[in-house]
């Protein structure tokens, strides 16, 4: 015992010293500008939310948070980049749910794994809007369903890319309405909406934050939202169930903040605490509400349960539709 106790004291002192050093490092973090990767083009919902979050985190950290748009491969380009980045907290990514719940089912060679990341928190959640171009001869969702059934395989729906939330929402709509519509993937939601306005595609089941400005400007028509109740942002637009297509109430978009796996626990806790603080900011919450979104805040354990449930749901759609993205 007389020999072991001094060794234990030394080990304890070393452990305490390491913990204090780690805590001190976390307190001084970030030591340089933080990069927030966005897997889609500028102007889409993910980009809009990321820029609002980046501004608030930058204010809290007194350090620049730079939004880095890296579209492509259904979010795989940005996710792969972040997964391979140093795990020091200075590189983060704001993902749409599909990157964790759909891509593992739809890509045979995914350039990343969900296990490559540590979940910080859910940032925002909001419904999708079933929208059509102004030239499409449909004023209601029933009109659109009837039109699609009369022209099977001839109507196109645009998305933010293969396997994205916007893509899968379109597939879920087609499944619920029992219609045959053709998918056209883009590198982001904004270019898909541009082509919706231009008439190159007829339908987009898009995020309310990205769709509503064009609806309010009269450039596209909103036929329904995928939620249990109407949105204050588009109060005249019925839910899909009200409009005659039930089964889409839980087809919402969510956006989670992640860092590379292996990021020190103290830094993860600091990012998480500061993210929750940012989400409680009245200006940020008002900004999200103005885009039809609700501030999130769900922690890693809650998000893991959501991801597991949604992964099972989307696996069924992928198998039913025989979807692949390689």
Integer-rounded Cα radius of gyration of the chain? 22
pLDDT band at 2 (very low <50, low <70, confident <90, very high): very low
Give me the mean pLDDT over the 70-92 stretch.
Answer: 93
Q: What is the structure's pLDDT at 18?
A: 43
Q: How far is 102 from 98, CA to CA, in rounded Å?
A: 5
Residue with tokens 């249990």: 228
pLDDT digits (tens, 9 = 90+) for 212-234: 999 999 999 999 999 999 998 99
Q: Indicate if 92 and 67 belong to the same structural domain.
A: yes
- What are residue 256's DSSP bridge partners? 95, 122
Q: Which segment of 10-19, 292-301, 315-324 scores lowest on mean pLDDT? A: 10-19
Residue with tokens 């082509």: 195
Give domain status of residue 89, yes or no: yes
The DSSP H or E segment spanning 98 is: helix 98-101
pLDDT band at 210 (very low <50, low <70, confident <90, very high): confident
Q: Indicate if 60 and 146 belong to the same structural domain.
A: no
Give domain status of residue 28, yes or no: no
pLDDT digits (tens, 9 = 90+) for 6-58: 555 555 454 554 444 445 556 789 999 999 999 988 887 789 899 999 999 99
Q: How many domains does the chain have?
A: 2
CATH number at residue 313: 3.40.190.150
Q: Indicate if 266 and 213 belong to the same structural domain.
A: no
Q: Tokens in use for 119?
A: 């979940």
Q: What is the structure's pLDDT at 150?
A: 98
Instruction: Note down the domain range covering 288.
Output: 35-125+252-321
Give domain status of residue 12, yes or no: no
Per-residue pLDDT at 243 exceeds 80: yes
Q: Indicate if 78 and 161 belong to the same structural domain.
A: no
Instruction: Give the DSSP letter of residue 73.
Output: G
Which of 225, 241, 264 is the C-terminal boundary of a domain? Answer: 225
- CA dihedral (184, 294, 212, 306) in degrees, to 10, reads 20
Give me the mean pLDDT over the 89-113 stretch.
Answer: 92
Q: Provide the strand spans (E) within 21-177.
A: 34-38, 65-69, 91-96, 117-133, 156-159
């Amino acid at each position: 015992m007389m020999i072991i106790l001094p060794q234990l004291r030394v080990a304890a002192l070393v452990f305490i010293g390491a913990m204090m050093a780690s805590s001190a490092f976390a307190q001084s973090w970030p030591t340089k500008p933080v990069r927030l990767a966005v897997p889609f083009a500028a102007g889409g919902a993910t980009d809009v939310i990321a820029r609002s979050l980046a501004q608030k985190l930058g204010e809290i950290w007194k350090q620049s948070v730079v939004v880095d748009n890296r579209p492509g491969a259904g979010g795989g380009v940005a996710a792969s980049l972040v997964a391979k980045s140093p795990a020091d907290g200075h590189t983060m990514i704001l993902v749409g749910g599909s990157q964790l719940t759909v891509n593992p089912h739809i890509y045979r060679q995914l350039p990343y794994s969900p296990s490559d990341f540590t979940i910080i928190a859910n940032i925002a959640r909001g419904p999708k809007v079933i929208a059509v171009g102004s030239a499409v001869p449909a004023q209601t969702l029933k009109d659109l369903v009837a039109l699609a059934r009369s022209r099977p395989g001839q109507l196109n729906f645009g998305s933010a890319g293969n396997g994205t939330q916007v893509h899968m929402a379109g597939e879920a709509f087609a499944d619920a309405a029992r219609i045959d519509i053709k998918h056209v993937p883009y590198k982001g939601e904004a270019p898909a909406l541009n082509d919706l306005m231009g008439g190159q595609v007829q339908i987009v089941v898009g995020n309310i934050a990205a769709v509503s400005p064009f609806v309010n400007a009269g450039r596209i028509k909103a036929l329904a939202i995928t939620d249990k109740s109407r949105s204050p942002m588009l109060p005249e637009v019925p839910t899909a169930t009200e409009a005659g297509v039930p089964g889409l109430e839980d087809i919402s978009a969510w956006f989670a903040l992640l860092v590379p796996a292996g990021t020190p626990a103290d830094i993860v806790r600091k990012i998480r605490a500061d993210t929750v603080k940012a989400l409680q900011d009245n200006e940020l919450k008002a900004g999200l509400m103005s885009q039809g979104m609700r501030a999130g805040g769900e922690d890693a354990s809650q998000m893991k349960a959501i991801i597991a449930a949604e992964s099972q749901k989307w696996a069924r759609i992928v198998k039913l539709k025989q979807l692949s993205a390689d």
